[in-house]
Structures are given as structure tokens and as C-alpha cells.
Amino acid sequence: MADLSHYNPTSRFTGLAENYAKYRPSYPAAAIDFIITHCELRSNSLLVDIGCGTGISSRLFAERGICVIGVDPNDEMRRQAERTAASLRGPIPAYRKGRAEETGLPDASADVVLAAQAFHWFAPEPTLREFHRILKSGGWVVLMWNERDEIDACTADYGRVIRSAPDAAAVELPRGKAGDVLLTSSLFVDAARFPFANEQPLDEDGLLGRAFSASYAPREPAAAQAFAAELHGVFARWQLNGNMTLRYETSVYVARKPA
């Protein structure tokens, strides 16, 4: 997996928090339920969500009664997560500033360490060492990504536009390969990848919001206008009754710290 930690992952999301929270896809219930069952999470378990961003994944586990600490270096993203958490049914996640490579959390304090749509921004080897440090014996690392399923023609058309954006080729990940570094890490055992189907229905504003929530979407006015025009074309080709659907494969990678 490419190391994208030198692409300034902290500040490149500044200014995107509202769009990110509103337009990014969630994760399928089947994937969340699988993680809870596979990792034997209970109401007294602690899940640490590294690179939690606006709290999309943190909230899904909190709503199922799991205690969550969300860690992210970007102040704006964390504040958005905190605002959204107030209405949760379940324990409210605690959010704190920190980096994946240096969380500031105590040794052997977490039952699960999760990175959802985030691990590719971290320096992989120091990050896995930090995950190993903060995990309890027998605890689990979980890496999760929503990856476009471009077998679907509509999603492929959207992907064509996305790949035209600056930096897209550098930061987009090969489907089904993003977590390979965990599968081969000597720090963990019982490593495996599990795929789940996911989808995101969108109206036209939602499609543009989804695209412009990407850190590599164009910001210069003329380039952004051309990018938006291409997206309007995608929507016109694929919408039905004012909506279209993007398809994803959600990859869940798991590995356990030896007991």
C-alpha cells in the first residue's frame, strides 16, 4: 500500500468537515454487526476510532452500545463530530486530538482499534506499532474502506470523473488491496479481509457534495466548474426520478494482537 502520510493528511481536509459529514457514505449494517461479533465487543468494551474525522464510524458503534474514543488531528473535523454526537442513542463518543502514530492513549487500553476510510493517510509501520501498544492482549485491529464498485456502470461513470481530479491518481487506492499491510504484519495474527456490499442513493446536490468532499477535488474556480459540469452530466445520464445510486464494496480487514 502506498504511504500517503506525506500528502499533508491533517490540513488537506480543513474546510471540508460540513460536506464530509453530510455527503460521505456510511458503512453497511452487516459490516458493523460483523465487527462487533467477530471482535466480541460488549457494552463494557472500548473501541478507539483512529482518524475518526466527523465521526461517521464512531457513531455507528456508539449507537450499538459500544464505548468509543475518536482520535483525529484535525480540529474542524473533530468539532463536527462532537456537534453530531449530541443526539445519539447510546454512549456519546469521547473525541480527542491525536495522531495515528502517537495517540497519547495508555498501553493496553483498547479492545478494538479501528481506522475507517483513514489508514492510507498514516505511516503504516509506526501506526501498526502504536495500534499494537494501545491494544489489550487478544484485541483487534480493524481497517475499513468504502471502495467504489465500478462493475456497476453508473459508479464507473462517476469514477471516471473523480479520477480526472488533481492528485486523484496518487491517493486513490486499488480496490481490495488497501489493507494488505495488515494482512502481512508480524505484529498480529488471524488476519483476514471480508467484503460487504454497500450503496449510496444521491440526488444531484448529493452527487456534487459527495465528489467535492474528496480532499483532491479541484478548488480553483474554473477547474471546479468544469468538474461540476462533468458530474451534472453523470447525473443526467443515470438519474431516475431525481436520484441515482453509487455502489461500493466495503472492505473490512481484521487482525488480532496475540494473547
Report which secondary-structure segment, H or E, holds 207: helix 204-212
| Section 24-33 average pLDDT | 97
The helix/strand/coil state of 187 is: coil
pLDDT digits (tens, 9 = 90+) for 144-167: 999 999 999 999 999 999 999 887
- pLDDT above 90 covers a percentage of the chain that reads 80
Task: Report the DSSP beta bridge partners of residue 197.
Answer: 249
pLDDT digits (tens, 9 = 90+) for 52-68: 999 999 999 999 999 99
Q: What is the predicted pLDDT for the residue at 216?
A: 86
pTM of the full predicted structure? 0.91
Residue 247 predicted with pLDDT over 50: yes
Q: Where would I find the beta strands (DSSP E) of the chain?
A: 46-50, 67-71, 94-96, 110-116, 135-148, 189-202, 244-256
CA distance 8 to 102: 16
Residue 20 predicted with pLDDT over 50: yes
Please give the biggest Cα pair distance in the chain.
Answer: 56
Residue 19 predicted with pLDDT over 60: yes
Fold of the CATH domain 5-149+171-198+249-256: Rossmann fold (3.40.50)
